[in-house]
Every structure is written in C-alpha cells, then in structure tokens.
Amino acid sequence: MSTALELITHSVAETQAAAAALAPLLRPGDVVVLDGDLGAGKTTFTQGLARALGVEGPVTSPTFTLVHTYPTRAGFDLLHVDVYRLESESEIIDLALPELIDDNAVAIVEWGNRAASSLPPPCLEIQIRLTETDGERLIAFKSTRPDWEQRLAALKC
C-alpha cells in the first residue's frame, strides 16, 4: 500500500502553510524525510512546520551543526536534521539518529535519502521540487504506512 498526495505552492508563504497543515497530523516517533534539490524549500517547509508546532525563535538550516532540537507546544521535540554534508555511512551512524528519534520527538530529516539505512523507516517522505514557473513548488507527500492513508486524507492545504 502506498499513499500519495501532491500539491503546488506559489510562494514561500504557501509552502510554509502546507507544512503548517501537516503539523497537527504528526505524532511523536514520526520520521519525515525531505528530499529536493538545493534551494527547493526544505528548510522553508520545516520553518512552517515548526511555527505551527509553536516553536519560537529562528528556525535555521542545520547544515553545519547537523541537528537542531526545538521544543514544541505539542509536547514533543522537533528534531531538524540535515545530512547533506555527510559523506559516509559511518558519519551518519556517528550522529546516533535512531537514539535521538524516540517516542518523545518528531524528526524532519533533510536529504534523508542519504541516511536511509541509518534511520528508522520513514513514516512520510516529502519531495519538494521547483517547477518551471518562478516561485512555484511541487510538494509530493508519500507514505507506505497504512496509518498515513487517513492522516494524508485529513491534510487540508
């Protein structure tokens, strides 16, 4: 079984609003993998998600620090992970992501396809692609987990 949903956003604000719509559907222990080219909007998406979860203060790309942890009003931590700069499986293993991703956190992993073998199976994969129209993005949500069929059906963007 595979559940998929696609939508198009036309601005940063719309991309963040799409992420905000996802926020109430997340549960502690979820792993969300973000994929897309450089500049496609992965961090922008995460910013919208974090704001909707009540994260205060700046939400920035963890490209150099690799992991940012944000407490949320939802009662769990939001882990924002970026594995773009990691070059080997051993570097990814050294991050100890499975230990960080527990029942008290939701993890958003940018470039997560690079760390797939070192992560718990993703609950949701999100691909963000720039289209040929300036400022427009195609956001594709995909999951093979049955519980996400209902959750994605409830997604209101």
Global pTM value: 0.85
- The phi and psi torsions of 142 (rounded to 5 degrees) equal -145, 140
Structural domain that includes position 15: 7-136
What letter represents residue 55's amino acid?
V
CB neighbourhood size of 31 (10 A): 22
pLDDT in tens, 133-151: 888 999 999 887 788 878 8
Q: Is residue 157 part of a domain?
A: no
CA geometry: angle 126, 36, 90, nearest 5 deg = 90
CATH number for the domain that contains residue 34: 3.40.50.300
pLDDT in tens, 4-56: 889 999 999 999 999 999 999 999 888 899 999 888 999 999 999 999 999 99
Confidence class of residue 78 from pLDDT cuts 50, 70 and 90? very high
Determine the pLDDT at residue 21: 94
Question: How many residues can be counted in the chain?
Answer: 157
Q: Is residue 110 part of a domain?
A: yes
Determine the pLDDT at residue 1: 47
Determine the pLDDT at residue 135: 84
Confidence class of residue 93 from pLDDT cuts 50, 70 and 90? low
Token reading at 61: 């790309």
Q: Per the structure, how many domains does the chain have?
A: 1
Token reading at 110: 């940018």
Statement: residue 84 has pLDDT above 90: no
Q: Is residue 122 part of a domain?
A: yes
Q: Is residue 45 part of a domain?
A: yes
Among the ranges given (28-32, 89-93, 120-124), the one the predictor scored with the smallest mean pLDDT? 89-93
42 or 93: whose pLDDT is higher? 42
